[in-house]
């Protein structure tokens, strides 16, 4: 058995883990990164990146198809077809490129990488089952960045027929019909993409609305679009199991319905991955997640945790930010995780962006707020893209106008997330943004207008 | 019958490892549920470890003094019925991967040997958890609420300079704190710092090796020995004169003499009359061993810390002999070549800080000795000779004694004897 000693051991090369390793190595910390499969984690291999690739392909296909019929732009093309195998190969190529990109960055920074399954022996020692045999690693500091996995519904175990998001992104053929169990952002993103690719899609959601974390105004444009795409949404409904290629769904009134579907996609959430002996460390937990402090330290000295394993929001950029902070701390810097906002983007059609507090969340903290609102119907750029659905909303403190939160829904508003989080992180007041010149004609003018609306009224509405 | 494995629980205080300080059981003993099987020591306290099962102890995870990591196996108990550990797995030799075993079966095997039930069974004795003070989950939703308003770079600058942003008045819109506000704040709150930044860094240096040894030795001395310290001043004018003359005549042949060999000689002469002071006190056996030979430990500063080489049988050495032995040993200590024998066996110790020797010190006795002689700085002081002030070379000595063995009277007599000998150095040159 090989024994090794390092200053920092990072378990998991997802966005949190690899960023932590790169940063630490750059700061001169002797770093070893252990990964079971490929660098990049869920995000790069089976999450953010491949799903956005499929969504892009679906959008292009759908848009092209819309020109095959009579349209206002006067474009005419023949009815398009898609070879999903080819699309998949293109997507896989992007993933591969990013895989080796991450590997290159790690190498350049001077971090060592070891492929294999890690398992805690105790709070200072980890055993890795690598291709070259078992390696025992003693580390001064350990960062747990093991991420999360899709939750399986007991009555719908994953199979050829019942897919996780990972399986759906690897499909080589568009299913004729697809039932999506779970109307959260993952289910809706993939469901919408397959609807655009030609599948008949039904979404089954147990709560009384899809995307339950958002208010009804934010999801209204998405619901409208889902209807346009002929996606059926069943709320207050739960999937009970599969029989004879049919999905059994129980409705609120107690009746059941049998849905014919070629494939079933289960996206009911993700759970932390603690299968590498974390349980035995007796760390203080926060539910099923590892409890951490503002330095991402667990209850055991020298053991840190970052990313999905530490709970919501399970977002790659949160993990990256935590990874960076932990690397700095281990390198001896005086750093804490003190971010004011983690923007969240939902790549539905149209996209939803949230940053900071919603008005309800502000109210719950006893903060009086002023709300500014700007519909994209009044935005020139949105009209020229044939997508004037959606709006931008700003939640600001009533007493001093400090922007607490921003919500937006609209075509490609994900790119506005940078402006939103920058405003909140810098502590901008609504009048700061209102007085900042925004380029015309862009959708971002809507942000400026929404801030003007906080102050009493916009110019273009 | 099954094997039940008990792991070292999280003993709190955020520690990842703890020193095993006590076993109440040995292999073969029968333990009852909730019996305390042993104790581990954290930085602050000894924590007793209970067993959660009844059975026979078949393996102990370490010896007293071993440092065990939290979560590591502490002991194995053979229990009635099913255990939580694979009986075939011998803890010291975990099954090595065999090439013929498929990868899958290895995973299964390793998860068998460390059954997850082990964790809840080992009673958590959590004392303090750094993460429990915080609200669970992420705290990022508190933006704009009670958090001070400041850009990320301002927050970092404040952290680096040890400024609590809650105490800073922001001059920006809506009270936003700017870099300038930080500057103003540090000038206001620390008027005397003139823009200097307080250093809030803390470096953790682990006590290892010689440093730890010194620490243990010092606390042992100070804890067990009730010290009495006597400080006396000595007129060393004639000693210095004698020394100078000897050096003028003999330095080329015999080497240079410092004050130290004279002090060693004085100690030899003084303890001849008071053998109780040249002794080791074994307080566990209630035995004082008075030594015929005078083996003087010389406290020596090295790069790594304090070492005490021993000049043996000073009673048969002359001044130059002592001086050269001190020189040889000091060099051996500094280059790390001093042997164990050269560093042990002293019966009394002399400590000197030379020109740094101050006016008085409170030397700590080199346990289990009963006395230590500290030499302070030599200075010229005005001395009233009955008619006028005259400049004299004066030097203080600070001597500590183990008050359990040496009474105040004896200590005072010893110090006076040293004073007499050093003030009349001719006495030191009389052989015999």
Looking at residue A390, which CATH number applies to its domain? 3.30.390.30
Closest Cα in chain A, distance from residue B85 (Å): 13
Looking at chain A from residue 283 to 342, which residues have their Cβ under 8 Å from any Cβ of chain B? Answer: 283-284, 286-287, 289, 291-294, 297-303, 310-313, 318, 334-336, 338-342
Domain containing residue B176: CATH number: 4.10.320
Q: CA–CA separation, B85 vs B74, rounded Å?
A: 13
**Which residues from A are below 8 Å from B139, CB to CB?**
294
Per-residue pLDDT of A123-151, as tens digits, reads: 899 999 998 899 999 999 999 999 999 99
The domain spanning residue B266 has which CATH number?
A: 3.30.559.10
Q: Bridge-partner residues for A119, per DSSP?
A: A127
Q: Look at B404 and B105; give whichever has higher pLDDT.
A: B404
* A277 plus A139 within the same structural domain: yes
Residues of B in Cβ contact (< 8 Å) with A312: 137-138
Domain final residue pick, A216, A251, A268: A268
Instruction: Compute the average pLDDT of residues B172-181.
Output: 86
Q: Please indicate, yes or no, whether residues A126 and A275 belong to a single structural domain of this protein.
A: yes
Q: Residue A280 and residue B116: Cβ atoms within 8 Å?
A: yes
Q: Is 50 exceeded by the pLDDT of residue B104?
A: no
Nearest CA in chain B to A296: B131
Give A160-214 pLDDT, tens digit per residue: 999 999 999 999 999 999 999 999 999 999 999 999 999 999 999 999 999 999 9
Q: Are residues A259 and A289 in the same domain?
A: no
Answer yes or no: are the C-beta atoms of A192 and A348 closer than 8 Å: yes
- B115 band by pLDDT with thresholds 50, 70 and 90: very low
Residue B2: pLDDT over 50 = yes
- The reply to whether B403 belongs to the active site is yes
> Mapping DSSP to helix (H, G, I), strand (E, B) and coil, where does residue A6 land?
strand
- Neighbouring residues of A358: CB distance < 8 A, sequence distance ≥ 6: A215, A395, A405, A407
3-state secondary structure chain B: CEEEEEECCCCCCCCCEEEEEEECCCCCCEECCCCEEEEEECCCCEEEEECCCCEEEEEECCCCCCEEECCCEEEEEEECCCCCECCCCECCECCCCCCCCCHHHHHHHHHHHCCCCHHHHCCCCCCCCCCCCCCCCCCHHHCCCCCCCECHHHHHHHHHCCCCHHHCCCCCHHHCECHHHHHHHHHHHCHHHCCCCCCCCCCCCCCCHHHHHHHHHHHHHHHHCCEEEEEEEEECHHHHHHHHHHHHHHHHHHCCCCHHHHHHHHHHHHHHHCHHHCEEEECCCCEEEECCCCCEEECEEECCEEECCEECCHHHCCHHHHHHHHHHHHHHHHCCCCCCHHHCCCCEEEEECHHHCCCCCCCCCCCCECEEEEEEEEEEEEEECCCCEEEEEEEEEEEEEECCCCCHHHHHHHHHHHHHHHHCCHHHHCCC
**Which pLDDT value is given to residue B15?**
67
Burial state string for A60-91 with b = 16 or more CB within 10 A and e = fewer than 16: ebbebbebeeeeeeeeeeeeeebebeebbeeb
CATH number for the domain spanning B24: value is 2.40.50.100
- Domain check: are A310 and A436 in the same one? no
Residue B145 in domain: no
The stretch A417-436 carries a mean pLDDT of 94
In terms of domains, do A216 and A277 share one?
Answer: no
Compute the distance between CA of residue A329 and CA of residue B146 in angstroms, rounded to an integer. Answer: 25
Both A57 and A84 in one domain: the answer is yes
How many domains, chain B? 3
Structural domain boundaries, residue B110: 2-91+106-121
Give the closest of A293, A302, A432 to B16, CB-based: A302
Which of A1, A2, A122 should be substituted to probe chain B, the one whose Cβ sees the most B Cβ atoms within 10 Å? A122
Most confident region among A132-141, B78-87, B138-147, B196-205 by mean pLDDT: A132-141
Q: How much is the pLDDT for A323?
A: 98
Q: Compare CB distances from A334 to B103, B119, B159 and report the shortest one's residue.
A: B159
Per-residue model confidence as pLDDT tens digits over A342-353:
999 999 999 999
Are B197 and B332 contained in the same domain? no
Are A33 and A18 spatial neighbours (Cβ–Cβ below 8 Å)? yes
**pLDDT in the model for residue A54:** 97
Percentage of chain A beyond pLDDT 70 is 100
> pLDDT value at position B144?
52
Report CB contact under 8 Å: A297, B145: no
Q: With respect to residue B148, please indicate whether it lies within any of the assigned structural domains.
A: no
List all residues 6 or more positions away from A154 whose beta carbon is below 8 Å from its beta carbon: none
For residues B31 and A289, the model is more confident at A289
- Site from B6, B85, B108, B138 to mutate, A interface, most A CB atoms within 10 angstroms: B138
Q: Are residues B179 and B241 in the same domain?
A: no
Confidence band of B188 (pLDDT split at 50, 70, 90): low
For residue B288, what are its two tokens? Answer: 């004082």
DSSP three-state, residue A4 = strand
Distance in angstroms (rounded) separating the CA atoms of residues A461 and A445: 12
Chain A residue whose CA is closest to B143: A340
- Looking at mean pLDDT, say which of A36-50, B4-18, B305-319 comes out highest: A36-50
Is residue B261 located within the same domain as residue B376? yes
Indicate whether B306 pLDDT > 60.
yes
Gap between the Cα atoms of B60 and B66, Å rounded? 11
Strand partners, A371: A395
Determine the residue of chain A that is closest to B74 in CA distance.
A122
**Residue A384 shares a structural domain with residue A314:** no
The answer to whether residue B146 sits within a structural domain is no
Same domain assignment for residues B21 and B76: yes
> Which of residues A268, A293, A317 is at a domain's end?
A268
End-to-end CA distance of chain A: 72
Of the given ranges (A73-87, B204-218, B237-251), which has the lowest mean pLDDT? B204-218
**The whole model's pTM is what?**
0.64
Residue B139 covered by a domain: no
Catalytic residue IDs of A:
440
User: Do residues B188 and B285 share a domain?
Assistant: no
Q: DSSP letters along A126-153, please?
A: EEEEETTEEEEEEEEEEEE---EEEPPB
Q: How many angstroms separate the CA atoms of B277 and A48, rounded?
A: 80
**Is the residue at B142 inside a domain?**
no
User: Residue B212's Cα: distance from chain center in Å?
Assistant: 4
Among B327, B318, B397, B393, smallest CA distance to B357 is for: B397
pLDDT confidence tier of residue A55, bands split at 50, 70 and 90 = very high
- Shortest distance between the Cα of B137 and any Cα of chain A, in A, equals 6
Question: Among candidates A184, A208, A209, A197, which has minimal Cα distance to A263?
Answer: A197
Distance from CA of B373 to the nearest CA of A (A): 44
Residue B133 has pLDDT above 60, yes or no: no
Q: Are A100 and A86 in contact (CB under 8 A)?
A: no
How many whole angstroms separate alpha carbon B6 and alpha carbon B75? 5
Are B172 and B28 in a shared domain?
A: no
Work out the number of other CB atoms within 10 angstroms of the CB of residue B395: 22
Q: Is residue B255 part of a domain?
A: yes
Together in a domain, A236 and A323: no
Instruction: Determine what percent of chain B is predicted with pLDDT higher than 90.
Output: 37
Smallest Cβ distance to B137: which of A133, A282, A286? A286
Residues A216-270: tens digit of each pLDDT: 999 999 999 999 999 999 999 999 999 887 899 999 888 999 999 999 999 999 9
Residue B194 inside a domain? The answer is yes
Percentage of chain B exceeding pLDDT 70: 80
Cβ count near A189 (within 10 Å): 23
Q: What is the DSSP letter of A37?
A: S
Residues spanned by the domain of A206: 162-268
Query: Quick check: B94 pLDDT over 70?
Result: no
Chain A partners within 8 Å of B70 (Cβ) = 122-123, 281-282, 300
Amino acid B205: pLDDT: 81
Q: How far is CA A115 from CA A39, A135, B291, B392, in A?
A: 9, 11, 66, 77
Whether residue B132 is predicted with pLDDT greater than 60 in this model: the reply is no
Q: Give mean pLDDT, residues A369-377.
A: 96
Q: B312 and B185 share a domain?
A: no
| Complex-level ipTM | 0.72
In A402-421, the residues whose Cβ lies within 8 Å of chain B are: 402-405
Q: Who among B16, B106, B107 is closest to A300 (CB)?
A: B16
In this structure, the number of other CB atoms found within 10 A of the CB of residue A50 comes to: 23
Q: Is residue B127 in some structural domain?
A: no
In whole angstroms, give the CA distance from residue A115 to residue B364. Answer: 56
A56 burial type by CB count under 10 A (0-12 exposed, 13-18 middle, 19+ buried): middle
Q: Do A405 and B200 touch (CB under 8 A)?
A: no
Indicate the pairing of strand A177-181 with strand A200-204: parallel
**Does A306 map to a domain?**
yes
Q: What is the pairing mode between strands B389-402 and B227-235?
A: antiparallel
- The pLDDT of residue A111 is 97
In the predicted structure, residue A332 carries a pLDDT above the cut 70: yes
Query: Is the Cβ–Cβ distance between A273 and A254 less than 8 Å?
Result: no
CATH number, domain of A195, equals: 3.50.50.60
- Compute the nearest-CA separation of A254 from chain B (Å): 36
Of B8 and A357, the one with more pLDDT: A357
Residue A71 token pair: 């349209």
Residue A45 lies in a domain: yes
Q: Is residue A120 part of a domain?
A: yes
Q: How far apart are CA A4 and CA B371, in angstroms?
A: 48
- How far apart, in whole angstroms, are the C-alpha atoms of residue A391 and residue A352? 10
pLDDT of the residue at B118: 37
Is the same domain home to B275 and B373?
Answer: yes
Is A221 found in the same domain as A302? no
Query: Which pLDDT band, with edges at 50, 70 and 90, does B199 fall under?
Result: confident
Specify if A461 maps to a domain: no
What does the longest C-alpha to C-alpha distance in chain B come to? 102
Beta-carbon separation of A286 and B118 below 8 A:
no
Interchain pair A429, B118: CB under 8 A = no
B267 and B350 in a single domain? The answer is yes
Instruction: Note the pLDDT of residue A23.
Output: 97
Report how many domains make up chain A: 3
CA distance readout (Å), A54 to A46, A63, A243, B423:
11, 14, 29, 98
Neighbouring-strand partners of residue B351:
B374
Burial class (CB in 10 A: 0-12, 13-18, 19+), A459: exposed
Q: Is the pLDDT of residue B365 over 70?
A: yes
Backbone angles phi, psi at B398, to 5 degrees: -120, 115
Between chains, do B126 and A299 touch, taking CB under 8 Å as contact?
yes
Among the partner-chain residues B96, B152, B159, the one whose CB lies closest to the CB of A425 is: B152
**C-beta atoms of B119 and A280 within 8 A:** yes
pLDDT band (50, 70, 90) for residue B56: confident
CB pairs below 8 Å between A and B: how many?
Answer: 158
Query: Is A131 in CB contact (< 8 Å) with chain B?
Result: no
**Which residue, among B140, B151, B152, would best test binding to A if mutated, counting the most A CBs under 10 Å from its CB?**
B140
Mean pLDDT across the stretch A54-73? 96
Choose from A9, A141, A282 for mutation: most chain B CBs within 10 A. Answer: A282
pLDDT at position B405 = 93
- Are residues B110 and B195 both part of a single domain? no
**Chain A residue whose CA is closest to B106:** A129
Contacts B89 to A, Cβ<8 Å? none
d(CA B70, CA A282): 9
How many Å apart are CA B139 and CA A199, to the nearest integer?
A: 41
A98 close contact with B: CB closer than 8 A: no
Per CB-CB distance under 8 Å, the chain B contacts of A424 are 143-144
At B196 the pLDDT is 64
Helix (H, G, I), strand (E, B) or coil at A183: coil
A13 and A135 assigned to the same domain: yes
| Those residues with Cβ within 8 angstroms of residue A374's Cβ, 6 or more apart along the chain or in another chain | A391, A392, A393, A446, A447, A449, A450, A453, A458, A461
pLDDT, residue A250, reads: 93
Kindly state whether residues B296 and B175 are assigned to the same domain.
no
Same domain, A413 and A435: yes
Question: Is the domain of B290 the same as that of B421?
Answer: yes
Residue B53: which pLDDT band, with cuts at 50, 70 and 90?
confident
Write the burial class of residue A380 (CB in 10 Å: 0-12 exposed, 13-18 middle, 19+ buried): middle
CB contact under 8 A, B130 and A293: yes
Please state the φ and ψ torsions of residue A178, each to the nearest 5 degrees: -135, 130
Q: Does residue A11 sit in the same domain as residue A140?
A: yes
Q: CB–CB of A341/A399 below 8 Å?
A: no
Q: Residue B106 has what pLDDT?
A: 39
A447-460 pLDDT, tens digit each: 999 999 999 888 88
Is residue B274 pLDDT above 70, yes or no? yes
Nearest to A282 among B71, B134, B173 (CB): B71
Cis status, amide bond into A441, omega within 30 of 0: yes
CA distance A219 to A124: 47
Q: Are A236 and A120 in contact (CB under 8 A)?
A: no
From chain B, pick out residues whose CB is under 8 angstroms from the CB of A292: 131
Nearest Cα neighbor of B65 from B40, B45, B47, B46 is: B40
For A413, the 3-state DSSP assignment is helix
Half-sphere exposure of A187 (CA within 13 A, CB side): 29
Q: How high is the pLDDT of residue A1?
A: 63
Q: Which of A149, A141, A421, A427 is nearest to A296 (CA)?
A: A141
Mean pLDDT, residues A30-39: 96
Beta bridge partners of A369: A397
- Position B32 scores a pLDDT of 85
Beta carbons of B147 and A340 less than 8 Å apart: yes
Query: Contact B377/B357 with Cβ under 8 angstroms?
Result: yes
């Amino acid at each position: 058995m090989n024994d090794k000693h390092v200053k920092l051991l990072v378990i998991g090369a997802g966005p949190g883990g690899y960023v932590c390793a790169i940063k630490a190595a750059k700061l001169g910390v002797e770093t070893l990164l252990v990964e079971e499969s490929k660098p990049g984690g869920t995000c790069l291999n089976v999450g953010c990146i491949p799903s956005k690739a499929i969504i892009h392909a679906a959008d292009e296909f759908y848009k092209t198809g819309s020109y095959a019929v009579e349209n206002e732009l006067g474009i005419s093309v023949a009815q398009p077809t898609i070879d999903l195998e080819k699309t998949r190969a293109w997507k896989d190529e992007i993933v591969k490129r990013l895989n080796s990109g991450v590997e290159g960055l790690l190498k350049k920074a001077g971090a060592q990488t070891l492929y294999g399954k890690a398992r805690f022996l105790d709070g200072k020692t980890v055993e890795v089952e690598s291709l070259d045999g078992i390696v025992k690693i003693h580390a001064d500091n350990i960062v747990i960045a093991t991420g999360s996995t899709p939750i399986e519904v007991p009555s719908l175990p994953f199979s050829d027929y019942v897919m996780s998001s990972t399986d759906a992104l690897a499909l080589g053929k568009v299913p004729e019909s697809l039932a999506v169990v779970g109307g959260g952002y993952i289910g809706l993103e993939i469901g919408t993409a397959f609807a655009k690719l030609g599948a008949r899609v039904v979404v089954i959601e147990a709560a009384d609305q899809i995307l339950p974390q958002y208010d009804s105004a934010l999801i209204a444009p998405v619901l409208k679009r889902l209807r346009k795409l002929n996606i059926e949404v069943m709320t207050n409904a739960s999937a009970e199991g599969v029989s004879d290629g049919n999905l059994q769904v129980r409705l609120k009134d107690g009746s059941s319905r049998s849905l014919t579907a070629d494939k079933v996609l289960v996206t009911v959430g993700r759970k932390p991955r603690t299968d590498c002996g974390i349980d035995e460390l007796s760390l203080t937990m926060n539910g099923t997640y590892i409890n951490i402090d503002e330095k991402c330290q667990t209850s055991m000295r020298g053991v840190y945790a970052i990313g999905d394993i530490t709970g919501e929001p399970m977002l790659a950029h949160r993990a990256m930010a935590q990874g960076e902070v932990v690397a700095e701390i281990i390198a001896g810097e005086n750093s804490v995780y003190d971010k004011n906002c983690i923007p969240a983007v939902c790549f539905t059609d149209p996209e939803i962006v949230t940053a900071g507090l919603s008005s309800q969340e502000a109210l719950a903290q006893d903060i009086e707020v002023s709300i500014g609102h700007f519909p994209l119907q009044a935005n020139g750029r949105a009209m020229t893209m044939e997508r004037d659905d959606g709006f931008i909303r700003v939640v600001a403190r009533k007493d001093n106008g400090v922007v607490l939160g921003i919500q937006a829904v609209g075509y490609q508003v994900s790119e506005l997330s940078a402006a939103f989080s920058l405003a909140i992180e810098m502590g901008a007041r609504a009048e700061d943004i209102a007085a900042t010149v925004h380029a015309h004609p862009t959708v971002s003018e809507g942000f400026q207008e929404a801030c003007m609306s906080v102050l009493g009224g916009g110019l273009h509405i | 019958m099954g094997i039940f494995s008990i792991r070292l629980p999280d003993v709190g205080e955020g520690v990842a490892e703890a020193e095993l300080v006590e076993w109440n059981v040995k292999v073969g003993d029968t333990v009852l549920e909730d019996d305390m099987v042993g104790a581990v020591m954290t930085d602050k306290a000894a924590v007793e470890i209970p067993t959660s099962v009844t059975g026979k102890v078949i393996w102990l995870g370490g010896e007293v003094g071993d440092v065990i990591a939290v979560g590591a196996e502490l002991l194995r108990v053979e229990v009635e019925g099913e255990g939580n550990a694979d009986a075939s797995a011998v803890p010291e030799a975990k099954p090595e991967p065999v090439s013929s075993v498929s990868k899958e079966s290895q995973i299964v095997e390793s998860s068998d040997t460390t059954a997850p039930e082990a964790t809840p069974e080992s009673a958590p004795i959590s004392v303090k958890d750094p993460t429990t003070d915080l609200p669970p989950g992420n705290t990022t939703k508190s933006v704009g609420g009670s958090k001070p308003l400041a850009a990320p770079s301002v927050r970092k600058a404040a952290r680096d300079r040890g400024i609590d942003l809650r105490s800073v008045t922001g001059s920006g819109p809506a009270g936003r704190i700017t870099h300038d506000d930080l500057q103003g704040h540090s000038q206001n709150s620390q008027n005397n710092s003139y823009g200097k930044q307080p250093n809030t860094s803390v470096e953790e240096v682990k006590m290892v090796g010689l440093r730890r040894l010194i620490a243990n030795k010092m606390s042992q001395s100070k804890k067990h020995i009730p010290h009495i310290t006597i400080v006396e001043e000595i007129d060393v004018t004639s000693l210095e004169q004698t020394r100078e003359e000897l050096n003028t005549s003999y330095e080329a042949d015999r080497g240079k003499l410092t004050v130290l060999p004279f002090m060693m000689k004085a100690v030899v002469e003084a303890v001849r009359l008071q053998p109780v002071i040249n002794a080791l006190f074994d307080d566990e056996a209630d035995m004082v061993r008075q030594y015929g030979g005078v083996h003087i430990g010389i406290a020596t500063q090295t790069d790594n810390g304090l070492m005490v080489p021993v000049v043996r049988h000073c009673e048969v050495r002359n001044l130059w002999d002592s001086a050269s032995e001190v020189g040889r040993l000091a060099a051996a200590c500094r280059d790390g070549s001093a042997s164990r024998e050269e560093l042990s066996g002293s019966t009394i110790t002399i400590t000197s800080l030379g020109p740094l020797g101050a006016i008085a010190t409170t030397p700590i006795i080199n346990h289990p000795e009963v006395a230590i002689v500290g030499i302070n700085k030599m200075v010229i002081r005005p001395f009233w000779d009955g008619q006028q002030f005259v400049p004299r070379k004066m030097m203080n000595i600070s001597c500590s004694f183990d008050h359990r063995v040496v009474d105040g009277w004896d200590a005072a007599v010893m110090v006076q004897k040293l004073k007499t000998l050093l003030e009349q150095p001719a006495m030191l040159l009389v052989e015999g």
